With several copies, the nearest count.
Chain A
Amino acid sequence: MPAIAESAVEAVSAVNDGSTVLMGGFGNAGQPMELIDALLESGSTDLTVVNNNAGQGDAGLALLIKERRVKKIICSFPRQSDSWHFDTAYRAGEIELELVPQGNLAERLRAAGAGIGAFYTPTGYGTALAEGKETRQIHGRNYVLEYPLRGDVALIKALYADHEGNLVYRKTARNFGPVMAAAAAQTVVQVDQLLPTGEIDPETVITPGLYVDTITVVPSASAAARGEAPADAAQAA
């Protein structure tokens, strides 16, 4: 059974100096904002961060980068109109960037969770992002060999958890959550609501509880705006 953390700060205590941290989310959808803010507060530094982007505006991951607590970022799309803190750190040579095509990023995380040693992917073959990598032609098609991407800690966001740690996501906020949960040694989840065990239909569980180590409840503004409070959830333990 996962631990229930009373606060986001308590939830992220598994992150240490030098940790590799997988951060869920694509845009704002599925981004564990409060956990990232707590990480900011926690002071841990020298981090390797895996995320689709490299922080935006003056919040969350962007502030971690601003404070030079991220030594390396592994992502698919760092450059955005408001990624100024990354841009500055990068141009100053104060952050290392490993650029990975988005599908390879997802598959490398999946491989880490699934115990696959390495895999041949067609994505990126013949491009600058495959330079120096092993390639192979298989049945007439060209592939690049890619390796798993593991995390010490995953910080993700889901809609509901039960006390067993089973997770259900919401719409396109699902994105990297399930593969990151399986790819990290410790998985920390912020959820809108914690439900009694048995309230989530076993057929609809997306992330089984064995992938989840710590849960913290952070009712999200978007949930409140939606006016969603399922009957089940009202009696949540």
Chain B
Amino acid sequence: MTEITSAPAASAERLSRQDLARIVARDITPGSFVNLGIGQPTTVADYLTPEQRVTLHTENGMLGMGPQAHGDQIDQDLINAGKVPVTELPGASYFHHADSFAMMRGGHLDVCVLGAFQVSATGDLANWSTGAPDAIPAVGGAMDLAIGAKETWVMMSLFTKDGTPKLAPELSYPVTGLGCVTRIYTDCGIFHITEHHGTRGPHLVEAHGLSREEIQNRLEVDLL
């Protein structure tokens, strides 16, 4: 349970995607084992420091993944979950798909960082399907990642282009995992999903570009 403080840290500007990645990287406890989802979460790796000694997992069977491979480093047998060629760090290990997802499902990773279409006030996650009736469905490892780590963090913009909040009282998009999200990193603020006086909901830890009041006014969710 996170301590609820009344005044969140704040900045005048909304966070850029780079700033957001830097903040997520900063918040990862040194020595953690982490899985970074495809897309925006992948960029968090660029801001992890060697001193943090964070070990990256890729669900296609590797711990100790290094940065993206370039030029002569490229090896078709060494890719990440996004099928991008990557490198291997000293102390790495390889394992098969069942062992890799067992590692995740068994709760052995400290943090998994994912993108999202929508997160509910209680931490339900929607990130695998827009629910469009004519779309071809595809899930990959999204549902395994959502519920696998000790903590699931989401990176997303707080609002869609038309201004609809992506942090919502309940999901309107198809569920990826229930009650799994513990933190939401957005351009406008950082939320921890926590319990306060028996209610589970988002606590605003940092506000950026908007004040706490502005954020509260634009959300249909009660901030704790």
* Direct A–B contact present (CB less than 8 angstroms): yes
Cβ proximity bits A101-120 to B, threshold 8 Å, 1 near / 0 not: 11111110110111110000
Whether the pair B107, A115 counts as a contact (CB closer than 8 A) is yes
Is B222 an interface residue when CB atoms closer than 8 A count as contact? no
How far is A140 from B200 in the complex, measured between Cα atoms in Å? 17
Which of A77, A83, A114 contacts B139, CB < 8 Å? A77
How far is A87 from B138 in the complex, measured between Cα atoms in Å? 12
Q: Which residues of A contact B135 (CB under 8 A)?
A: 79
Q: Chain B nearest CB: distance from A79 CB in Å?
A: 4
Q: Which residue of B lies closest to A99 (CB)?
A: B137
Which of B33, B58, B80, B91 contacts A197, CB < 8 Å? B91
Whether the pair A101, B143 counts as a contact (CB closer than 8 A) is yes
Interface size class of B (residues with CB under 8 A): 35 or more
Q: Which of B83, B96, B134, B174 has the most CB of A within 10 A?
A: B96
Whether the pair A128, B91 counts as a contact (CB closer than 8 A) is no
Q: Which residue of B lies closest to A162 (CB)?
A: B91
Q: Chain A nearest CB: distance from B87 CB in Å?
A: 11
Q: Which of A4-12, A27-35, A36-44, A229-237 contacts B (4 or more CB under 8 A)?
A: A27-35
Is A26 an interface residue when CB atoms closer than 8 A count as contact? yes
Q: Chain A nearest CB: distance from B125 CB in Å?
A: 10
Is A152 an interface residue when CB atoms closer than 8 A count as contact? no
Q: Which residues of A contact B94 (CB under 8 A)?
A: 169, 171-172, 174, 202-203, 205
Which of B92, B106, B139 contacts A129, CB < 8 Å? B139
Is B213 an interface residue when CB atoms closer than 8 A count as contact? no
Q: Which residues of B contact A101 (CB under 8 A)?
A: 139-144
How far is A196 from B57 in the complex, measured between Cα atoms in Å? 21
Q: Chain A nearest CB: distance from B153 CB in Å?
A: 18
How far is A179 from B109 in the complex, measured between Cα atoms in Å? 17
Q: Which residues of B contact A102 (CB under 8 A)?
A: 59, 97, 101, 139-141, 144
Cβ proximity bits A13-51 to B, threshold 8 Å, 1 near / 0 not: 000000000000011111000000000000000000000
Supplied contacts A76-B139, A102-B59, 18 more A-B pairs, CB within 8 Å? A28-B76, A29-B78, A77-B139, A86-B136, A113-B102, A113-B108, A128-B129, A170-B77, A172-B80, A173-B77, A174-B95, A176-B97, A178-B96, A182-B103, A205-B95, A208-B63, A210-B109, A222-B77
Q: What is the interface of chain B, defined by CB distance below 8 A to chain A?
A: 31, 33, 53, 55, 57-64, 75-80, 83, 88, 90-98, 100-109, 129, 134-144, 147-148, 174-178
Could you jot down 12 A-B contacts, CB within 8 Å? A77-B138, A91-B134, A106-B96, A112-B106, A114-B106, A124-B143, A164-B55, A164-B91, A175-B61, A177-B96, A209-B55, A211-B108
